[in-house]
């Protein structure tokens, strides 16, 4: 699969490396060239310095041929805008967007965007870890998945 | 249960509100008083401004009577130090520590600390979402739990 990732922070660089090692064709965009140093030294994908809400930059990253797109910068607005461009303009089949703000995450999810909210996931994981046994944690995750 | 939370950022404030609403006695520590504005308006717990690696601050938050402690500031070092103080000095039964850096997370986990690494969790969730169907995602989470 050809996958474009916007944002080469902690999660973006880890994700890019995982996908590259799994045999996918990966391009990573970040406005800071220094961010690419977070990638594994054996990362075989492409790195594109630039603004991910700029269509020219997305095209340079291969968005036109991409099967999937992930927006994982630290800015909710940037992730939302880039995901909408990937979905609506470039018709990317699979688009997943990180939104830290739980309220906005719910809104955009209801509008049909595939979203991941680290705030909700994180709080729920700590809630389970603090209160539950391993068995109960297992059950909670099952419920969350269904 | 009496629970002390260090860090009132996005995750800390969401977690504190969840635990309070679930009927637990919650104290939240943050060095910035402004951070407490993130808590739900009906939050019934205590807020303690101060440095969470300062034992006096932890005592004011009720660490001596606490059943559980969560360290969720944005600083890995601060979270690790505070968790060690809670566990070793105050003998808190359940201590969970957020560590963003996957390498340090593994080290401290191997040393017996209960840790959550948002970087690894986030990257894995995006990996699953980009590549897998909902059914496969479900199976992956099952595997991660076991």
B-interface mutation test, from A126, A138, A141, A144, most B Cβ less than 10 A away: A126
- Determine the residue of chain A that is closest to B68 in CA distance: A130
For A3, nearest residue in chain B (alpha carbons): B130
| Residue that wins the pLDDT comparison between A143 and B59 | B59
B61 contact A CB<8A = no
**Contact at CB, A122 and B119, closer than 8 angstroms:** no
Query: In sequence order, what DSSP letters do the residues of B80-140 get, joined into one string?
Result: HHHHHIIIIIS--SEEEEE---HHHHHHHHHTT-EEE-HHHHHHHHHHHHHH--HHHHHHH
Mean pLDDT of B105-128: 96
Confidence of residue A132 (pLDDT cuts 50, 70, 90): confident
Nearest chain A CA: its distance from B18 CA (Å): 8
Reduced to 3 states (helix: H, G, I; strand: E, B; else coil), residue B69 is strand
CB-based contact (8 Å) between B133 and chain A? no
Inform me whether the pLDDT recorded for A68 exceeds 50.
yes
Please report which confidence band the pLDDT of residue A146 belongs to, taking 50, 70 and 90 as the band edges: very low
Closest residue in B to A117 (Cα) is B122
Q: Which of B11, B123, B141 sits opposite A145 (nearest CB)?
A: B141
Average pLDDT on B62-82 reads 97
Q: pLDDT band for position A2 (50/70/90)?
A: very high
pLDDT over 70 at A133, yes or no: no
Distance CA A1, CA B130 (A): 10
> Mean pLDDT over residues B52-74, rounded?
97
Please answer yes or no on whether B15 and A126 come within 8 Å at the CB atom: yes
Share of chain B above pLDDT 90, in %: 90
> Nearest-CA residue of chain B relative to A145?
B138
User: Does A126 contact B at CB distance below 8 Å?
Assistant: yes
Answer whether residue B135 shows pLDDT above 70: no
DSSP per position, chain A: -EEEEE--SHHHHHHHHHHHHTT-EEEEEES-GGGGGGS-TT--SEEEES-TT-HHHHHHTTGGG-SEEEE-SS-HHHHHHHHHIIIIIS--SEEEEE---HHHHHHHHHTT-EEE-HHHHHHHHHHHHHH--HHHHHHHHHHHH-
Question: What integer pLDDT is reported at residue A144 of this predicted model?
Answer: 52
Give pLDDT tens digits for A105-124: 999 999 999 999 999 999 99
Sequence-separated (6 or more) residues with CB below 8 Å from residue B116: A122, A125, A126, A129, B96, B97, B98, B99
ipTM for the assembly: 0.90
Residue A13 clears pLDDT 60, i.e. is over it? yes
How far does A54 lie from chain B, in Å, by closest CA?
22
Which position has the token pair 């308006």? Answer: B41
How far is the CA of B45 from the CAs of B19, B35, B48, in angstroms? 9, 14, 10
pLDDT of residue A38 exceeding 50, the answer is yes
Task: Please name every residue paired with B6 in a beta bridge, in sequence order, or none if there are none.
Answer: B29, B71
Asked if the model's pLDDT at residue B91 lies above 60, the reply is: yes
Taking all residues of chain A, what is their mean pLDDT, rounded to a whole number?
Answer: 92
CB-CB neighbors (< 8 A) of A1 in chain B: 130-131
Residue in B11, B122, B131 nearest the CB of A123: B11
Among residues B82, B73, B88, which one has the least CA distance to residue B13? B73
Q: Who wins on pLDDT, A142 or A41? A: A41
Whole-angstrom Cα distance, residue A35 to residue B106? Answer: 23
| Residue of chain B whose alpha carbon sits nearest to that of A133 | B94
Residue A103 clears pLDDT 60, i.e. is over it: yes
A contact residues 15-54, partner B, Cβ 8 Å cutoff: 15, 18-19, 22
Contact B72 A122 (CB under 8 A): yes
- How does the average pLDDT of chain B come out, rounded? 92
Q: B70, B126, B127: best mutation site toward chain A, by most A Cβ within 10 Å?
A: B126
Residue B40: Cβ within 10 Å count: 13
DSSP H/E element including B71: strand B68-71
Residue B140 clears pLDDT 90, i.e. is over it? no
SS3 category, B66: coil
Residue B5 is given by DSSP the state: E
């Amino acid at each position: 699969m050809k996958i474009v990732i916007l944002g080469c922070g902690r999660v973006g660089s880890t994700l890019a490396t995982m996908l590259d090692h799994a045999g996918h064709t990966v391009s990573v965009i970040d406005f800071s060239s220094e961010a690419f140093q977070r990638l594994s030294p054996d990362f075989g994908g492409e790195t594109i310095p630039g603004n991910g809400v700029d269509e020219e930059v997305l095209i340079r990253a291969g968005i036109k041929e991409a099967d999937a797109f992930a927006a994982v910068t630290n800015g909710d607005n940037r992730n939302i805008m880039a995901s909408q461009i990937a979905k609506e303009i470039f018709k990317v089949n699979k688009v997943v967007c990180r939104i830290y703000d739980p309220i906005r995450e719910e809104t955009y999810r209801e509008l049909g965007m595939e979203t991941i909210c680290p705030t909700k996931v994180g709080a729920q994981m700590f809630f389970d870890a603090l209160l539950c046994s391993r068995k109960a944690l297992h059950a909670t995750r099952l419920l969350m998945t269904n």
